[in-house]
């Protein structure tokens, strides 16, 4: 009898020990998290120009991943920070998140003027940075950054594609030989605008096209009438414009007031990527304008994507409209950030944890360098692959990213180029109904 009571006590103690052990294991699993500093512009002029929509896309994806249980047992703890549309604030917030909040990495960034200094600072601090948006080649070109990666298209590609589009359609659509088409390149003079404009100019030179004006201006300029006057003197057929917002609205208002005429206008992302803002500010005057950007995820044929991605695109769209119920035209910006964040959470992070044993910068870097997603494997349709050391002068840049040319007509967005993805036969030149028709 005594032995039986002893046996009962030992069994009870053992059971309790096992229960405590199981509880400890479970608690440890629940406590596992990756702290991510998420930086966008929630205030200031860049917020309404697209940054707040990029931030929304990233948040939707983070919430989605957490709702699925996280990544390999890790929950994502996002700490959101406002860059306030100022490069110096973006730098300070990045350092604060790393040194005070002890984040494991940074994600986000809309403005290239912020990305250029922040990328160098984060890399020097040996922290991992995943860029969803800012496109300037200067962010990565020739800098040999080790821990900074951008799945996004870079600005040079934006500039190349718009000129290639014009070269292919000048004769058939406008009745002008490509070499005789008069191009004007105007841009905000920061890293973003300068990078895209450089792509415009280099591709125009390569294809033998005629650039009659290339002019930069400050995105915060209160008056752009002198730029409009220069354009009137040069009489361009096509304006290639790279800007934020409200400088785009200011330019187009003053162009209309001063009677500037042209046959086509092509914008390049940022302010041109938010159709609702353009239409709200300028009405139907922006009908038939073009924009170069990664394709809106809602314009892709679901059959062209890896199974399962179309359902995620649908969920992103529902959450977008829930957060912004007044939305009339879904902006490509939300889908862009959601897709680029999705690549990190479903490809890079799982490999870092499983293969390299952690979420430190070195593990994340090694995992990113092994990313090899084929065409159709992302919400944006293009693949993802980063160059190995020494392969090119833009380490950390996705070599498979590609933009498209879109056209706005009555608040609807259509893919105008490349031909394989067209959802509209592009309307060129501007119809007579446009106040800018030449």
What are the pLDDT digits (tens) for 251-267?
999 999 999 999 999 99
76 pLDDT exceeds 70? yes
What's the average model confidence in pLDDT over 21-50? 77
Strands (E), 318-411: 372-373, 384-385, 404-409
Hey, which residues does 39 pair with through a beta bridge?
A: 81, 108
421 pLDDT exceeds 50? yes
User: Is the pTM value of this prediction over 0.75?
Assistant: yes
313 pLDDT exceeds 50? yes
Q: What is the pLDDT at residue 254?
A: 98
What's the average model confidence in pLDDT over 1-13? 49
397 pLDDT exceeds 70? yes
434 pLDDT exceeds 80? yes
| Average predicted confidence (pLDDT) for the chain | 92
pLDDT digits (tens, 9 = 90+) for 133-187: 999 999 999 999 999 999 999 989 999 999 999 999 999 999 999 999 999 999 9
Within 10 Å of residue 411's Cβ, how many Cβ atoms?
14
Q: What is the pLDDT at residue 21?
A: 45
Please report which helix (H) or strand (E) contains residue 169, including its range.
helix 155-174
Distances (CA, A) of 292 to 141, 199, 270, 328, 366: 21, 12, 10, 20, 32
Provide the sign of the torsion angle of the four alpha carbons 44, 241, 191, 402, taken in this order: positive
Of 189, 257, 258, give the one whose Cα is nearest residue 230: 258
Confidence of residue 101 (pLDDT cuts 50, 70, 90): very high
Bigger pLDDT: 106 vs 276: 106
Fold of domain 32-149+333-385: Rossmann fold (3.40.50)
What's the average model confidence in pLDDT over 41-70? 95
272 pLDDT exceeds 90? yes
92 pLDDT exceeds 90? yes
Strands 372-373 and 404-409, sheet pairing = unpaired
Please report which helix (H) or strand (E) contains residue 67, including its range.
helix 52-67
What's the average model confidence in pLDDT over 201-229? 97
Q: What percent of the chain shows pLDDT beyond 90?
A: 85
Terminal-residue alpha carbon distance, the chain: 106
Report the CATH architecture of 156-293+403-421: 3-Layer(aba) Sandwich (3.40)
Structure tokens at 328: 């009339």
Confidence of residue 16 (pLDDT cuts 50, 70, 90): low
Domains 32-149+333-385 and 156-293+403-421 share a fold: yes
pLDDT digits (tens, 9 = 90+) for 319-336: 999 999 999 889 999 999
Of 136, 129, 257, give the one whose Cα is nearest residue 193: 136
């Amino acid at each position: 009898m005594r032995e039986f009571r002893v046996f009962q006590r030992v069994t009870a103690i053992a059971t309790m020990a096992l229960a405590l052990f199981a509880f400890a294991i479970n608690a440890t699993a629940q406590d596992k998290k990756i702290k991510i500093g998420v930086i966008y512009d929630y205030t200031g002029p860049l917020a309404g120009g697209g940054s707040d929509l990029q931030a929304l896309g990233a948040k939707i994806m983070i919430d989605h991943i957490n709702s699925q249980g996280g990544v390999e047992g890790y929950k994502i703890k996002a700490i959101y920070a406002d860059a306030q549309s100022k490069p110096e604030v973006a730098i300070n917030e990045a350092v604060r998140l790393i040194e005070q909040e002890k984040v494991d990495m940074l994600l986000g960034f809309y403005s290239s003027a912020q990305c250029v200094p922040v990328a160098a600072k984060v890399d020097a601090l040996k922290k991992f940075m995943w860029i969803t948006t800012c496109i300037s080649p200067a962010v990565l070109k020739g800098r040999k950054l080790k821990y900074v990666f951008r799945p996004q298209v870079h600005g040079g590609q934006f500039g190349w594609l718009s000129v290639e589009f014009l070269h292919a359609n000048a004769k058939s659509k406008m009745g002008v030989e490509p070499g005789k088409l008069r191009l004007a390149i105007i841009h905000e003079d920061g890293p973003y605008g300068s990078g895209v404009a450089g792509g415009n100019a280099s591709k125009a030179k390569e294809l033998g096209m005629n650039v009659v004006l290339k002019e930069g201006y400050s995105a915060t300029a209160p008056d752009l009438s002198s730029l409009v006057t220069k354009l009137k003197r040069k009489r361009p057929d096509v304006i290639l414009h790279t800007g934020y917002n409200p400088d785009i609205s200011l330019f187009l208002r003053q162009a209309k007031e001063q009677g500037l005429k042209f046959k086509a206008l092509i914008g390049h992302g940022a302010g041109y990527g938010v159709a609702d803002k353009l239409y709200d500010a300028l009405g139907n005057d922006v009908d038939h304008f073009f924009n170069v950007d990664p394709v809106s995820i809602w314009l892709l044929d679901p059959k062209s994507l890896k199974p399962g991605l179309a359902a995620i695109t649908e969920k992103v769209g529902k959450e977008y409209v829930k957060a912004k119920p007044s939305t009339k035209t879904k902006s490509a910006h939300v889908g862009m950030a959601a897709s680029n964040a999705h690549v990190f959470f479903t490809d890079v992070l799982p490999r870092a944890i499983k293969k390299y044993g952690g979420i430190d910068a070195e593990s994340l870097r090694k995992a990113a360098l092994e990313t090899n997603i084929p065409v159709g494997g992302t919400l944006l349709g293009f693949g993802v692959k980063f160059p190995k050391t020494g392969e090119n002068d833009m380490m950390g840049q996705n070599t498979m990213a590609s933009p498209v040319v879109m056209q706005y007509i009555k608040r609807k967005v259509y893919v105008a180029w490349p031909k394989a993805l067209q959802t509209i036969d592009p309307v060129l030149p501007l119809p007579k109904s446009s106040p800018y028709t030449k």
